[in-house]
Each structure stands twice: as structure tokens, then as C-alpha cells.
A = this chain, B = another copy of it.
Amino acid sequence: MVPKHQRRWPRLEKRLDVLPNQPDNLPNQSGSMHGNGASTLRRRLYVILEAGKTGDRASSIFDLSMVFLILANVIAFAAETDVALAAEYGVAFDLFNLVSIGIFTGEYLLRLWVCIDHPPLRRFGPVVVRFRWALTPSMLIDLAVILPFYLSLLFAIDLRVLRIFRLLRFLKLTRFSPALDTLGRVLYGERRAIFGALIVMFGLLLFSSSIIYALEHEAQPEAFGSVLRSMWWAVATLTTVGYGDIVPITFPGRLFGGLVMLFGLGMFALPIAIISSGFAREIHRRDFVVSWGMVARVSLFQELAPTILADLVEMLEAQVVEPGAVIAHRGDVADAMYFIVVGRVQLKFENRILELSEGDSFGEMALMDERLRSATITTMARCHLLALPAPEFRKLISLHPHARELIQKMIRERGLSAQTDNLENEIVEDRAAEKDT
């Protein structure tokens, strides 16, 4: 049995050479190979700007710098409204604003320039690609951040409107943290429940303010002068904010006020019921932002049509796993397929060990054939993984028969169908051996 193991290891090494785990040669494989200096620079910039979480140092520095620049802009925006600060540091604020607009403009143009290196889009012409790219939500936010400044040079725009657009700079953070995106998805997914809770709250508000108006408006004709004005007290009380600027003073008013406070406790239960479970579930699904650049690095995805890719990006869960963690045990029920964005993973089969790294995927065979895990999978370093859960995997190959064929074809092409198939060969060979004896 020993020669069989020796035969296998070189095959694996060859495979690791072929897989795109060197970030800088990825566009070479898939881009339009004209090979001049500009194109080399563009490919390098593509990795820095779009690939994300590749372990590339320049990319990490760029991301961090942008996050700090955005936060500095937001703080500057808040500080600049202070008359004293504006008077003293007005020039500095203006300069910082100009520099920021410059950097944001440069970033926008660069992103537009390098996007044609995005593998799933390479089948279209450069103009079409850049037009489609400019219409993605992230690029539209980037445009909304810089456009008002240039328009204000051409037309006279109200300063207030300009300020509101400056607030949008905060939204640029969605490119770097999954939190705002996650909250957005939770609120969208629960929109009917939230609308329902709002109706309940509005009803409670209406009845509270109507009754307190009836009880208090004679004693305090100013504060409780109408149902509309009483709503200010009602909303502050029901949400338990309780400013105390307006309080009931009559005995029946206070009695009813006490009831309203107790109802307020119940009102808390509604948004918590709706948002907390959804948010807790979603926030653990995405430890980092899944960018198209990341997905494009997985060899399996490079042949998929952009429409399928768009579905796929939504389905993927992004997990950061500490080194030494056991992702799956041999014999477990397979519940997901994994793609390695950064890090190394060890697969321990019954009688041999395999190491996978960036760009590799594992676990698809067990999902495809609904078999148990044939290896214990342990992380060898801090890993960023993309997981495609079993139900989403089945949904994908059920909605897109083309994806199924591609996965099956790729498993066949790979030859060794890394994780599982060897084991079966061995079993088959063992059985053959048993027959021989």
C-alpha cells in the first residue's frame, strides 16, 4: 500500500501549483493578455482595490487607510458645524475636505479603470463592463460622495443639500464592514413584521395620547393642549425615554401615566422579537464583507456566468476561523462546502493527510453525493473561509443546472477529486485485494 501514497503526493503538489494561490498571477490567467506596463499596473491595482482579504499587505493597508479617512471625514463634518471650531480651523477643514474629495475621486476612477480585470465580466467589452460596474450599489455610493462637489463648482447648490450629501460618506463603510449590510438585509427580510410592529406602536401611541389629552388638558392646557401635542409626552413615555419636560400632574393623569409606562415595557418586546433573532443569526453569517474579487479568486467560480455568481455571493457565509479549530470530523453529516480565501487547512483521511490553501475548495463531493465527511478538517492557520451551506448548495444546483454540470466536470477534471474519492479507491482496492487472497 505504500507506493500508492507516494504516487499520490506529487499529484497533489502539481495541483497546488496550478491553483491560483498567488494573487498577482490571477489576472494573468483570466485577463486579456496584452502584457504591457499599464496592464500589469492595472492588474496589481485590481488586487489591491477589489480582491480583499487576500493576505496582500498593500491591500490591507489600503483598506485600513480608507476606513480611517472615512471616519475622519465624518468627524470633520460633525466638528465643522460648530461655529467656534469653524472660525478657528476653517481653512484646515476646507483643505481636508478638498484632499478627501481628491482621494475619493482618484479611488472612484481607479476602481472604474481596473474593473475590466474582474474575471466573471471579461466576456464583455471594456465599455460595457465599466458601465455595468458603475451601476453596482457600492459604485453609486462612491459617485454620490464626489459628484455634489463637482456640481457645486458648476451650479450654485444650497449648502444644506451639500452637507446632507457629505453625510453619505459614512455609507462608504459598507464596503469594509458587513454590519450595515447585515442590518439592511435583516430589516428588509423582516419588513412585514416591522410594519406590523409600527402599526401596533402607532395605535398604542394614538390611544395613549388621546386619553391623556382628555385627562390632563384642563390642568395643563399648554403641554397637553391637543392630542398632537400629547403625543410628544406619549412617545417619550412609551419608549421609556422619559425626558420629564412634560409630566401629568392630576391623579387620574398619573394613574393612566403609570399604565402607559407599563405598556412601554411590552412595546420593547416587539422590536426585540423581530430584530434580535434575525440580527443574531445574520451577524454570524458574515464575519467579513464578501467581495466579487474574493469569489473570483476561487477557481471553481471562474467559469460561472455573472448571473449565477450574483446569486452565489448572496448565499455564501463568510467565516473567520482560529488556527487549530476542527471544522468537521470524519463521519459528520456534510452541511456545507467551503472555499479558502486566506489560510491553510489540513484534511486528515483515514490513512493520509492533505493540505489545502488559498483558492482551494473542499467538501463539495460529500454534498453532491449526500455522503458523510471522509476527513477530519482542521485549520493550520487563521483562515478566512467562504461556506456554502447545504440547502443553498442544493438550491444553486437546482436553479442553475449549468452550475451542477460545472462542479461535476471540475471534479472529474481535477482527477484526484481531492477529499473523498481517494478513500473510495482505497476501499475498492482493498476489496480487490481481499478477493485476491
Whether B85 contacts A167 by the Cβ 8 Å rule is no
A210: nearest residue on chain B (CB-CB)?
B167
A287–B170 Cα gap in the complex (Å)? 33
A265: nearest residue on chain B (CB-CB)?
B271
From A4-12, A39-47, A242-250, A353-361, the one touching the partner chain is A242-250
From A101-109, A144-152, A222-230, A405-413, the one touching the partner chain is A222-230
Whether B270 contacts A268 by the Cβ 8 Å rule is no
The minimal Cβ–Cβ distance linking A216 to chain B, given in whole angstroms, is 12
Partner pick for A245 among B195, B206, B244, B376, CB 8 A cutoff: B244
Whether A280 contacts B271 by the Cβ 8 Å rule is no
The minimal Cβ–Cβ distance linking A348 to chain B, given in whole angstroms, is 8
A171: nearest residue on chain B (CB-CB)?
B203
Give the chain B neighbours of A240 by CB distance below 8 A: 239-242
Determine whether A143 belongs to the interface, using a CB cutoff of 8 Å to chain B.
Answer: no
A74–B210 Cα gap in the complex (Å)? 11
A16–B247 Cα gap in the complex (Å)? 63
Q: A48-85: contact bitstring with B at CB < 8 Å (1 yes, 0 no)? A: 00000000000000000000000000100111011101
A325: nearest residue on chain B (CB-CB)?
B395
Whether B270 contacts A275 by the Cβ 8 Å rule is yes
Known: A240-B239, A399-B324. A283 touches B82 (CB 8 A): no
Known: A82-B226, A261-B239, A273-B283. A199 touches B213 (CB 8 A): no
Give the chain B neighbours of A183 by CB distance below 8 A: 200
Whether A182 contacts B207 by the Cβ 8 Å rule is no
A399–B376 Cα gap in the complex (Å)? 11
Determine whether A177 belongs to the interface, using a CB cutoff of 8 Å to chain B.
Answer: yes
Determine whether A196 belongs to the interface, using a CB cutoff of 8 Å to chain B.
Answer: yes
Q: Which 9 A-B pairs have the closest CB atoms?
A: A179-B196, A241-B242, A82-B226, A273-B276, A243-B244, A269-B275, A273-B280, A78-B227, A239-B261
